Structure 1
């Protein structure tokens, strides 16, 4: 079983770390450890991703059939998690108690129950393990350097690098935000290559080659996700659109 395989599961892992955090420490320092981010500037996007996951879990649970699940019971502690997330507004100027006061073992256990309920109702995803994340980030950074050093027109370079950065950010967020963000960013990268280059041009072939390298690597490392599997059926189509790259 993948511990990060649905929105509630991803939140439960974060909440367990929050519950174990010392309340008298700097909130910024503790959240940097909890989220395992290298830079504090990455904390705010992680909070946005957590909010998205809470919303997704809530929506899914609210639609569970009453006769087989108890949505009201499962959602009992969601307000406490929401209050914790709302604390992002004072993150820079407060201690960790502003967050830990909302999260205890009961809240963590409840979110774990939600994760199990989502799995029972076939809401499961694959994700990227640590090695896959590192491999993809390395590929993206090499690709960004290659684009920067290429002879693409400045406008094409600019938008290509911008979309590559968005893929990079999505991969950095995958442990909290899930793989949907990664897939959306890769789709935007593909569309950008089509929009900013001319059919049958050298630029199209060059940009297409970079896109296909990333798509193929992502498929290889994240086999089994519904969206990636669906994308796999379109690889030839994408290759043709990008000029046979």
Structure 2
């Protein structure tokens, strides 16, 4: 099993291996890692869509590998992975025809994919790691960043200097970052980068959201996020420009 979740095949393999570890006779929501008290009734459906997209991205990425990696050979068992994901999706959606939230409680009968199928997926992950690694965040880094995001949200909510509109804007943007962090081991770094970009762009437009203390904490948070990301050569330009933009906004508040 690849150590670095820096490509879609590695993330897909990690997710599939986690299913048996969660035990038999579990609900679909539990297997997918969706909490029972989620506010969004379509959370299970949305997570399942992410898993199916992850499988699709894996095939696309492997097919794009150079000929010397022999993509066709790497994908010889991948149709079995796709069939498993499709069956899982059907189970997740079957109980949601009337009430989407019911899909959380559908029972998920766990079965293991054959060893040669998982081995083949691991080989795909190793090839992608060699040829086209993506930025990624290690689990312990994700936990820390999620905690910091939630602390920032609490600070925004309790702030006496921000207008209600500014609070609503910042909470929404920070929730997007939290959601991207929670799903990063499935969706990768791209959604997180997009969420940070939306926060940065919004701060450029909204002067009412630039409270000095909050801006200082957001700047420190974005810097930590950049430092935590692995595969920095792939994101050096984007992250450097994001930090520079945040720092420029923060300095304008201080001056």
When normalised by structure 2's length, the TM-score is: 0.77
1:70 alignment partner in structure 2? 71
Alpha-carbon offset, residue 194 of structure 1: 1.6
Q: Report the alpha carbon displacement of residue 12 of structure 1 after superposing the two structures with TM.
A: 0.5
1:19-57, Cα deviation, whole Å (9 max, x unpaired): 56655x13336505xx4x554646544323322322221
Structure 1, 232-241 or 38-47: larger mean CA deviation: 38-47
Alpha-carbon deviation of 1:126?
4.0
Q: Which residue of 2 aligns with 1:233?
A: 240
Q: Is the 8 A contact 1:9 1:112 kept in 2?
A: yes
1:154-185 CA-partner distances (Å, limit 9, x unpaired): 11110110110111111111222212222111
Is residue 128–residue 222 contact of structure 1 (8 Å, CA) maintained in 2? yes
| Counterpart mapping for 1:110-125 below 5 A | 110-120=120-130, 122-125=131-134
- Are 2:141 and 2:228, in contact at CA under 8 Å, matched by a contact in 1? yes
Partner of 2:56: 55
Pairing partner for 2:148 from 139, 144, 149:
139
Seen in structure 2, the aligned counterparts of structure 1 residues 157 and 226 have a Cα distance that, compared at 3 Å, is farther
Partners of 1:20 and 1:179 lie apart in 2 by 25
Distance 1:67 1:203 in 2: 52
Consecutive unaligned residues of structure 1, counting only runs of 5 or more, are none
> Residues 150-189 of structure 1 correspond to what in structure 2 (within 5 A)?
150=159, 151-189=161-199
Q: Does the residue aligned with 1:8 lie in a helix, a strand or coil? A: helix
Counterpart of 2:210 (choices 203, 207, 220) is: 203
Specify the alignment match of 1:96 in structure 2.
108
Structure 2 unaligned blocks of 5 or more: 95-102
Query: Structure 1 residues 148, 30: closer, same or farther in 2, change over 3 A?
Result: closer
Q: Distance in 1 between matches of 2:221 and 2:213?
A: 13
Tell me whether 1:218 sits opposite 2:225 in the alignment.
Answer: yes
Question: Do the aligned partners of 2:149 and 2:178 also contact (CA within 8 Å) in 1?
Answer: yes
- Preserved contact between residue 51 and residue 85 of structure 1 (Cα < 8 Å): no
Distance 2:48 2:141 in 1: 23
